[in-house]
């Protein structure tokens, strides 16, 4: 069986460090922390509703969003975005408002990372 919840995955937090810590990049810091709060809220809502499968997928992603370097933040945000898959989606187990908030916070974080990458690529070096 394969899929998002089909087995242990290495935590983005245990990855080798790459780039500055999240908190040293203000344009990524705010969106990443907002995403961490949205993920934690979703985990709490899923557990309250008895939907532990998605809670188990999302919960390990809170720590790298709060404390990780940019690589860990990017990996965690991409994993959250992947939970909105075509076949199975975390949105099916969340209220519309919670699913929208989680999706929007994820997209905002990924946009902030892309902007940071684009700006960093144009800086001499």
Per-residue pLDDT tens over the stretch 93-124:
999 999 999 999 999 999 999 999 999 888 77
| Residue 120, pLDDT score | 86
Q: Is the pLDDT of residue 14 over 70?
A: no
| Residue 19, pLDDT score | 74
Q: How far apart are CA 77 and CA 48, in angstroms?
A: 23
What is the residue-wise DSSP string for 41-63? HHHHHHHHTT-HHHHHHHGGGHH
The alpha carbons of the chain give a radius of gyration, in whole angstroms, of: 15
| Residue 23, pLDDT score | 81
> Which pTM does this prediction carry?
0.83
| Residue 15, pLDDT score | 43
Q: Is the model more confident about 5 or about 89?
A: 89
- Provide, rounded to the nearest whole percent, the portion of the chain with pLDDT above 70: 85
Task: Name the pLDDT band for 22 (thresholds 50, 70, 90).
Answer: confident
């Amino acid at each position: 069986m394969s899929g998002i919840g089909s087995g242990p995955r290495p935590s983005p937090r245990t990855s080798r460090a790459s780039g500055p810590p999240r908190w040293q990049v203000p344009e990524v810091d705010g969106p990443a922390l907002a995403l961490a709060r949205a993920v934690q809220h979703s985990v709490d809502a899923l557990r309250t509703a008895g939907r532990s499968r998605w809670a188990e997928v999302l919960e390990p992603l809170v720590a790298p969003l709060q404390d990780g370097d940019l690589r860990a933040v990017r990996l965690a945000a991409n994993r959250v975005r992947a939970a909105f898959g075509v076949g199975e989606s975390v949105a099916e187990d969340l209220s519309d408002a919670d699913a929208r908030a989680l999706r929007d916070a994820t997209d905002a974080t990924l946009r902030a990372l892309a902007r940071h990458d684009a700006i960093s690529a144009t800086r001499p070096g």
